[in-house]
Structure 1
Amino acid sequence: MTDHSIDMSIHPEVTAFPDDATNTISYVVHDPGSDACAVIDSVMDLDYAAGRISHEGADRIIAHIRAHGLRLDWIIETHVHADHLSAAPYLQDALGGRIGIGERIREVQDTFGRIFNEGTAFQRDGSQFDALFADGDVYHVGTMPVLAMATPGHTPACMTHVMGDAAFVGDTLFMPDGGSARADFPGGDAGVLYDSIQRVLALPDRMRLFMCHDYGPNGREIRWETTVAEERAHNIHVGGGRSREEFIRFRTERDATLPVPRLILPSLQVNMRAGEMPVDGEGRPMLKVPVNGL
């Protein structure tokens, strides 16, 4: 894959912030040409049983940005996550920046707006976000161009963000021994996911790939960085030339055995609102549990 907005000579500094409770990895990405940075896939802490939120993880990110004298330009969501709640508004209140996601968020909002019976008050036009990216859009973190590349399949709105020699793939791929994400959520599609993975694997061999999740397969320590070359050669779900038909069959059979993510109900309600909590008729934060809705 060649694209004028991909510049492998740019080597952004990437600092990872793993969240043990959700196996999520958030990132601060520093443009080497300025004091600007972006945050990728932040996490808000949730005690689901107690119905309490907190921001310890986001506070660590804020402290890092302040300690290094950085300016937060962008708060990026690679997709509407089903396994953790976004801390985007909390980060924005503390540090500024714009919140961005793929333009197909509208489809996700429409689907889950119906599932959660949100009514007409819930806007399904993506207006909760500051920017909606189309496939091929280029934006900037300081002086660094960023390519927004549509990689749907896990969800319709999934995007990979390419910053110099680093690409943030969301849930499109896992580490080589982790394979790929499920494709059975509403709007997901195993064949589309395979095609998206091929787009990622067409990036330059030495492109650094950063995962949104890692589950430590077979008891290994948590890892989050690999390369295109390593994924193409060794990914257990798509590496070594596995065909589209083989992948669809494997992914469909595997997804049928997977449990529903523990935090899917609160995550979807919050994340389709760009990290804001839904409220009841009196303005109090309130989450719904649609019975037999998923």
Structure 2
Amino acid sequence: MNTSDILQPVVTHFFEPDSNTYSYVVQDPSSSSCAIIDSTLDFDYASGSISHRGADEIIAFVREKNLSVEWIIETHVHADHLSAAPYLKESLGGKIAIGAHITTVQKTFGVIFNEGQDFLRDGTQFDHLFSEGEHYQVGNLTATAMHTPGHTPACFTHVMGDAVFVGDTLFMPDAGTARADFPGGDAGILFDSIQKILALPDNYRVFMCHDYGPNGRELRFETTIAAERIHNIHVGEGKQKADFVAAREARDATLDMPRLILPSLQVNMRAGDLPKPDTNGLVYLKIPINAFNE
């Protein structure tokens, strides 16, 4: 594929250390238009307190650069951090968007959290729902939404020019791939989704949502399609689907649930909004007992 005419967006990363999450501001190189990807809200589980340090850093950056936010994108319903999307939208504008399969996630977790009829399962909490292969614009920059389920049913990879934002689907080559044991996850589907990503041009830049510095190396957030295709320890060159599924399922059986999965899912399936206040004016998050046990 000839990639000489592909625009290279300006990508600025922001790091949230509590969940090892990378958020991004992605700017069209020919205009002031930008998108924000996978923002985080600061949440102290022990005290139940919320703050906006990370989101405020993004807001300050966007204003300093005089950027215009067109999109606030969630690659999926995150299980390890709370989204700051509504807070960012209130300050900067833009459309909050996620993949159309959010409805599957909302139906699943609407049951687990015993949500009432006022919790809609149609994705209307979001301003836009991406469909598979949908093209959209960030200024003059053409972007494509790719449905890449397996980690969750609603995972999407976003290709903006030569920049690929994979959410939790892929990690750095020495860290492998996402887990596939959440409700609606599937290791075989995850393998197939990753093959779609690896079919992109070799020189495309790949940006992580998380990195944990395996084997003590420094944290990293960027690699290339070529590096993932050749060196990824789970799906790199020569790895077969059956072997991947067996290894992924064995590995997932040993993993603990993310520390913030219960608050995160309740907030993120609402596009970052908190549940409605109770009769005393306080907002509560539920802890369903044994909901994730087999």
| TM-score of the superposed pair, with normalisation by structure 1 | 0.97
Deviations 1:183-230 (A, max 9, x none): 000000000000000000000000000010000001111101000000
User: Quick one: structure 1 residues 150 and 7, their matched pair in 2 at CA, closer, same or farther if it must change by over 3 Å?
Assistant: farther
Identity fraction in percent: 64
Q: Could you tell me whether the CA contact under 8 Å between 1:145 and 1:164 is conserved in 2?
A: yes
Partner of 2:186: 189
Give the residue type in structure 2 aligned to 1:27: Y
Q: Map of 1:158-177 to 2, 5 A cutoff?
A: 158-177=155-174
Would you say the 8 A contact 1:7–1:164 is kept in 2? no
Deviation of 1:7 (Å): 7.8
Matched, 1:155 2:155: no
The 3 A distance-change label for structure 1 pair 161 and 7 is farther
Q: Which amino acid aligns with 2:290?
A: N
Match of 2:199 in 1: 202
Q: Distance between the aligned counterparts of 1:9 and 1:270, measured in 2? A: 36
Match of residue 70 from structure 1: 67
Equivalent residues of 1:8, 1:207 under 8 A apart:
no
Q: Hey, what does 1:18 align to over in structure 2? A: 15
In structure 2, what residue type is equivalent to 1:256? A
- Are residue 274 (structure 1) and residue 271 (structure 2) matched? yes
**Partner in structure 1 of residue 95 of structure 2:** 98
Partner of 2:290: 292
Matches of 2:282 and 2:271 in 1, distance apart? 18
**Aligned amino acid, residue 268 of structure 2:** N
Structure 2 CA distance, aligned partners of 1:17 and 1:145? 23
SS of structure 2 residue aligned to 1:99: strand
- Please show how residues 1-294 of structure 1 align to structure 2 within 5 Å: 9-282=6-279, 284-294=282-292
Deviation per CA, 1:231-270: give whole Å up to 9, x if none.
Answer: 0110011102200000000000000000010000000000
Partners of 1:70 and 1:217 lie apart in 2 by 35
Structure 1 residue 110 displacement after superposition: 0.1
Q: Which stretches of structure 1, 4 residues or longer, exceed 2 Å deviation after superposition? A: 6-9, 279-284
Distance, in Å, in 1 between the alignment partners of 2:81 and 2:289 is 20
Unaligned segments of structure 1, at least 5 residues: none
Q: Which amino acid aligns with 1:218?
A: N
* CA distance in structure 2 between the aligned counterparts of 1:117 and 1:60, rounded to whole angstroms: 35
Alignment-mate amino acid for residue 137 of structure 1:
E
Decide whether the 8 Å contact of 1:8 with 1:165 is kept in 2: no
Superposition TM-score, scaled by structure 2 size: 0.97
Q: CA RMSD, aligned part only?
A: 1.3
What SS is found at the alignment partner of 2:237?
helix
Unaligned runs of 5+ in 2: none
User: For the residues of structure 2 that align with 1:85 and 1:223, how far apart are their CA atoms?
Assistant: 22
Q: 1:7 to 1:151 in 2, by over 3 A?
A: farther
Letter in 1 for 2:153: P
Residue by residue, what CA displacement relative to the aligned partner does 1:152-173 show, whole Å, maximum 9, x if unpaired? 0000000000000001000110
How far apart, in 2, do the equivalents of 1:33 and 1:275 lie? 30
Distance of 1:106 and 1:266 partners within structure 2: 19
Matched pairs, number: 291
